[in-house]
Amino acid sequence: MVRIKKYLAVFITIAAVFSLAACAGNKELSPGSEVSLGKTTFSFDKDTYNYALFPEYRIVPGDVLDVLFQIRTWVKKEEFRLAIDNEISVKFIHNSELNETQLVRPDGSITLPYLGEVKVIGKTVQELTKELKKSYSSILKNPELYVIVPEFRSAIKELKKDLHTAPRGLSRLVTVRPDGYVTFPMVGDIYVANRTVPEITKELNAKYKDILPDLHCDLFLERHAGSVIYVVGQVRKPGAYKIVKPISLAEAMSLAGSYLSSARLDSVIVVRKHEDKLVATRVDLKAALSMEEGSEFFYLKPDDIVYVPKTWISKAAEVARDISDIIFFRGWSLGFSWELHDAAPSSGY
């Protein structure tokens, strides 16, 4: 039934196209002939807009991210130096009762018999062994000892244990909260809203490098919730519609079940957020549907608001008033400055 309704909406829109074309008085479109129609969007986006793909996607609340972890222990290190979270064993050949196995504490030290606190972070195994032998030479008659590191990354061990409890292996699905934050394993909360996946991946790997140099992560967008447009006004089914690729204003009409007979198609308003402004433009959809020479199909971006009015709108204040409910719903403030301009010169209205 849903599919039938979708086909019906498309049929209504297509029928409207030919109805408008018949009334437009343009040059007849005979069978086999072709008419080229252009593509356009807001002036500040024209140079970067890809009409086949979305522009750079920015994360929004409700998105689900897949964090894939890699443990790069196979990468050869030029020189191994002790770090926080390493497990260190100090073994005494002739005094086994003094043997100790400890994790390097966050302050970079361990505690050994007779010596107390010993700073170990940043030292090689050879350097620490030499230092301990010297320190114990005044305490023990024959301080024969050696240092080993049985566990290089105990935190990685715990991370593996934690992640392997999930069916996805060494990965974790995380959801962007309404406040724009995500809680990542070991690093905690990071603000991700309105940022790109590569930006967050770069920050995450910098943080993981400080904690565990062998740990690397890749971030993927598992599910997105942000590719939505709003169609309101004189349409059959006003509301929010998810889109998976750039669509034209005419296609947006189809999603909304086509327009009502009271719609003023020559004065359709599209609102887009740009920097610190809400910019509104008037689009002559009637001309595009009539295939008038030089007409262009207007293309939308996620979060655009399409307002189909009953009457000609000439002032930005009228746009702000008529669609204020939608703007408040999305969290955009009417404190933004407004601009209203025509997408192309219009006359005779």
How confident is residue 216, by pLDDT bands cut at 50, 70 and 90?
A: confident
What CATH code is assigned to 87-151?
A: 3.30.1950.10
pLDDT in tens, 84-143: 778 899 999 988 899 999 988 889 899 999 999 999 998 988 999 999 999 999 998 888
CATH 3.10.560.10 corresponds to the domain 2-57+227-342: yes
Q: Assign domain 64-73+165-223 one CATH number from 3.40.50.280, 3.10.180.10, 3.40.640.10, 3.30.1950.10.
A: 3.30.1950.10
Output the pLDDT for position 52: 81
Output the pLDDT for position 2: 44
Output the pLDDT for position 116: 92
CATH 3.10.560.10 location in the chain: 2-57+227-342
CATH 3.30.1950.10 location in the chain: 64-73+165-223, 87-151
- Judge if pTM exceeds 0.85: no
3-state secondary structure the chain: CHHHHHHHHHHHHHHHHHHHHHHHCCCCCCCCCCCCCEEECCHHHCCCCCCCCCCCCCCCCCCEEEEEEEECCCCCCCCCCCCCCCEEEEEECCCHHHCEEEECCCCCEEEECCCEEEECCCCCHHHHHHHHHHHHCCCCCCCCEEEEEEECCHHHHHHHHHHCCCCCCCEEEEECCCCCEEEECCCEEEECCCCCHHHHHHHHHHHHHHHCCCEEEEEEEEECCCCEEEEEECECCCEEEECCCCCEHHHHHHHCCCECCCCCHHHEEEEEEECCEEEEEEECHHHHHCCCCCCEEEECCCCCEEEECCCCCCCHHHHHHHCHHHHHHHCCCCCCEEEEEECCCCCCC
pLDDT in tens, 291-304: 777 778 899 988 89
